Structure 1
Amino acid sequence: MGRKFPPIIWIARNTYARMLKAHGKVKLDNACGVNLDDGPFLYLLNHVGIMDPVMVSAVAPHHIRWVAGAYLFKSKFLNLVIGKWCTAIPKQQGKSDVSMVRNVQKALKAGDNVGLFPEGTRTWDGEMVPFDYKPLAKLIRLYKVKVIFAHIEGGYAYQPRWADEKRKGKVTISLKHLLTPEQIGAMDIDTLKNTVEEYLHFSNDEWKESVDYSYVSPRRAEGLQRLMYMCPKCRGIDTMRTSGNRITCSKCGTMAVLTEKDDLTSVDIPFTKLSQWHNWEAEEIGKLDGLPEEPGVLLQKGDFNNEGDLDVLSEHISVRIEAGVMIVKCNDGDKKEYRLPISEVSSLILNAKQTIELFCGEDLYR
C-alpha cells in the first residue's frame, strides 16, 4: 500500500541499495512478523546517523516518506532532492510543528508510509536522546494507523556521529514491535506513553553485550574529542586529542584506549562507557558560570515559523557564555553583540556540519 517509488528512489534502490544488501552491509529482520503489505505504517526508530533513512529504505519493500529537519529544506538543492523528489516531510526541530503534524496525517490518510525519528537528532554516545514521550503518544492516537517500532542495530557502531570515518561492519533494521489502531485505542494516554517508551528504547551499550560486536577500524577513536571534550582528571575543556584507538589530554597527559567493543580502558579515567563520560561532562559543564570564547563562521536570523530565507547578520563571529547569557559578537561590520538569555531559549539543536540552531523569544538564530 502507498505510493509507488519516486524515480530517484527507484534508481537508488536498484543501484546503491542493491550494493549495500549484496555486500551484507544492511539487512532487514522482521522480528515481529508484521505483514509489510498491509499498510500504511508509521515507522518509529532510534536515530544514529545521517544514513538512517537510506539504510531503512534500502531494505523496506515499500516507499517511506521520511520526516526530516526543516533546516535541510532551506537549501534550494536539498529542498528539490529530499522534498520534491524523495517526498520527505519537513519538521522544525526542538519545538512543536503543527504543519508537520498535518502533513504526516495527510500522507497516512493517502496510504503513504511515514518514517519518524522521535529523538529529533542523532545520538552522540549510542544511547537514546531524552525527549518527552507523551506528545508522541498523542500523535500516535491521532493518526490511528499501524505503528512499527524498529531498531537500527549496529548503525552507531558502523559510524558514530563523532567519528571521522566509517568502520567495517553490518547494520540490521530490526522490526521489533507492532501496535494496531485497536490496541492503541484500548490504552489510556499514560499506558500508551509507557508502551511507546518501552518499545522504542534502544541502547548501544546494552545491545553490544548480546551480539558479536565486530566493527573494525584502525582509527576507531579518531574524532572522539568531539564527544569527550572535558578531561576527567584535570577538568581541561577542549584539551582531548585522538589518534588511532587512543584519546589523550594535551594538558595533563591522561590517556584512554577505545577497545574493539567501543569500551574505554584507562589507568586514570574512571569510566568504561562512552555514555558515562558523556553524562559526567554534561553535568560538569552545567555547573560552570560561563564558557570561554570560541570562534565561529556565520550568524543568521529568521522568524519563529522558520519561513523564508535567513538573513545573514555576520560572517565572522565569536561566541561565549557569561552568567546565563549567550553572547554572540560580530567581528565584522558594525561589531554588534547579540545577547541571548539562556532562560529565553525555547529550543537548541546541533544540526549537520556543527551548525547550532536555536529559538530565542520570537527569533530563530543559526
Structure 2
Amino acid sequence: MHLSDIKRFDMLKKPIRQRHFLRPLTWLLSYPAVLAHRVKITKIGMHGIKPPYLLLCNHNSFIDFKVTTVAIFPHRANYLVAIDGFIGREWLLRNVGCICKRKFTNDTVMVRHMKKVADNGDVIVLYPEARYSLCGTNAILPESLGKLVKLLKIPVVSLIMHGHHVNSPFWNLKDRGVKHMEAVLAQLVSKDEIDLLDHNEINDRINTAFKYDDFAWQREKKIRIDYPERAKGLHKVLYQCPACYTQYRMMSEGIKLWCEHCKKEWNMSEYGELTAVEGATEFSHIPDWYEWEREQVRREVENGSYRFESDVTVDSLPNAKGFIHLGNGKLTHDMKGFLLEGEYEGSPYSVSISSRALYSCHIEYNYLGKHGDCIDLNTLTDTYYIYPKCSEFSVTKIALATEELYKFSRTQSSAAAVKRTLGTGDGVSATSRL
C-alpha cells in the first residue's frame, strides 16, 4: 500500500461541545490530583469574565490538563490536543471537547474550529508552547498568536502553572509528590482592547505573561524534593559538558550528573541546584546550562557549520488507529532545514521542511519505550516519529538548532529585503540611482 492511500485523521470534522454527561468524568479525573498536590489557584482580573475566551496555558507535565480543568470550573472548554493523544480513544477525546492538531503546522482549519468554539460560547484551551518544557522555562511562542486574537475577538486569559516541571520533569516523568504548587489565572487582553491593540502589542503581553522558571520558583519557595533519583535523565537536556565542551558524553543517575569524557561530576540538591563535586560550578541553575548550550548551537548556525545526519527508524501516525512502521530512512538537518527520506513497501517518500518554515520542533525522550529518543515532524496530513540510529546525538540539540535556524533565516531574509529596498547591496541606495 502506498502512503498516500492510507486513511488520514478527519481534521475537518467540526469540534463537539463537551458532552454534559462526560463533564463529571473530567472533574473526577482532575480534582483528586489538584487536591493531592495542594495546588493554589490565584485569579487576577477575572471578575466578571465568562466564556467565550481564549485560555493560553504553559505546558510542563500531564497535570497541566487537570489544573486547567479545575481553574475554569464549571465552564465547558475545547482543548487543542496533539494527534498522539487520540490514539485508541478518538471518540472519547472528541466528546470531551478535544480538537486534534498536528504540532508546529500552519493550519487554517484549526482557526475555523476555534472560531466555532467561540461562537458556541465556550473556552478555547491552547498550550501555545506545543510541548512540555525541557527544563522548566518558557519556550518560543508562535508569532501568529496576536493575529489569532484579533480574528477571534474574544478576551485572552493566561494560566501560568508553577511546580509542575520540578514535580514531573520531561526528562524523568516520575511524580515527586510536590505539594503547594501554584497557578495564576489572569486576564491579559479584554474584549474592548482587541481593536485598540495591534497584533504585536498583543504578542508582547502574551510573551511577558509566559516568562516562568520552575527551578527558580522551587528555590524561592524552598520546595524540598528528596526523590533519590532526582537527577536521573537530566543528561538528556544537559548534553554538553561546560568543563571540556564535549557533546553527547553526559550521563546521570541518582543525584549525580557527570561527563564520561573528562569525568567531572555534579550533584543535584534537594532544591534543584547543581554543585560540582570538585572544582568550579559552571552552572548551579539548570536553565542557565541549557541556555549556554543554545549559545553553542547558535554559533554553529551563524558560522554555517551546523549539520546533523543519521540513518533513522521511522513511524508514521496518519490517524488515531495507531502507528505505521515505515522502516529505515535517513534524516538530514542542516542550514536548509529538515529532509527525511525513506521507502515504504517499495515506494520512496520524502518530507522536506525549510528552516524558515519551522520555528521549533517537538522531541521525545525514550518515547513509549520503543526505539529511544525521537524527533517528530509534522505535515498537515501526517506525523513522522523519527528515531536516529547513530550512537552520539541529542534531540535536545536538534530542537535548539531548529529554533536558532529559524531565527537566523528570518534575520537573513530581513537583511536581504533591506538590500533589495536600498539597491543591490553594494552600498548604493535606490534613490541615488534615479
Describe how 1:332-347 pairs up with structure 2 within 5 A: 343=355, 346=358
Q: 1:298 to 1:180 in 2, by over 3 A?
A: same
Larger radius of gyration: 2
Partner of 1:81: 92
CA offset digits 1:84-134 (Å, max 9, x no partner):
23211122321221111110110111111111111222210111111344x
Deviation of the 1:334 alpha carbon: 7.0
Q: What residue in structure 1 maps to residue 292 of structure 2?
A: 280
SS of residue matched to 1:284: helix
Distance 1:237 1:330, change over 3 A: farther
Cα deviations across residues 267-291 of structure 1 (Å, max 9, x unaligned)?
A: 3551122222112223334525434
Asked if the contact 1:348/1:358 (under 8 Å) is kept, the reply is: no
Matched position secondary structure for 2:114: helix
Q: Does 1:290 align with 2:307?
A: yes
Percent of aligned pairs with the same residue?
Answer: 19
Q: CA deviation at 1:151?
A: 0.8
Q: 1:7 aligns with which of 21, 40, 60?
A: 21
1:167-316 equivalent positions in 2, closer than 5 A: 167-170=176-179, 171-266=181-276, 267-285=279-297, 287=300, 288-291=305-308, 293=310, 296-300=312-316, 312=324, 314-316=326-328
**More contact order relative to length (CA 8 Å, sep ≥ 6):** 2
The CA distance in 1 between the partners of 2:76 and 2:193, in whole Å, is 25
Matched, 1:144 2:153: yes
Report if aligned partners of 1:348, 1:356 keep a CA contact under 8 Å in 2.
no
Give the aligned residue type for 1:298.
V
Q: Determine the structure 2 residue equivalent to 1:50.
A: 62
How far is 1:310 from its partner? 9.4
Q: Which runs of 5+ in 2 are unaligned?
A: 1-15, 368-372, 386-434
Check conservation: 1:93, 1:120, Cα contact below 8 A.
yes
CA distance in 2, matches of 1:52, 1:160: 12
Structure 2 distance, partners of 1:4, 1:300, is 29
Counterpart of 1:102, as a letter, is R
**Which residue in 2 is equivalent to 1:155?**
164
Q: Which amino acid aligns with 2:169?
A: P
How many residue pairs match? The answer is: 354
Equivalent residue in structure 2 for 1:101, among 93, 111, 115: 111
2:36 corresponds to: 23
- Alpha-carbon RMSD: 3.6
CA distance in 1, matches of 2:37, 2:82: 29
TM-score, normalised to structure 1, is: 0.81
Match of 2:270, SS state, is: coil
Query: Take 1:359 and 1:318, find their aligned partners in 2: how far apart are those partners?
Result: 16
CA deviations over 1:226-251 (Å, ceiling 9, x no partner)? 11112222333321111111101122
**Which stretch shifts more, 152-161 or 278-287?**
278-287
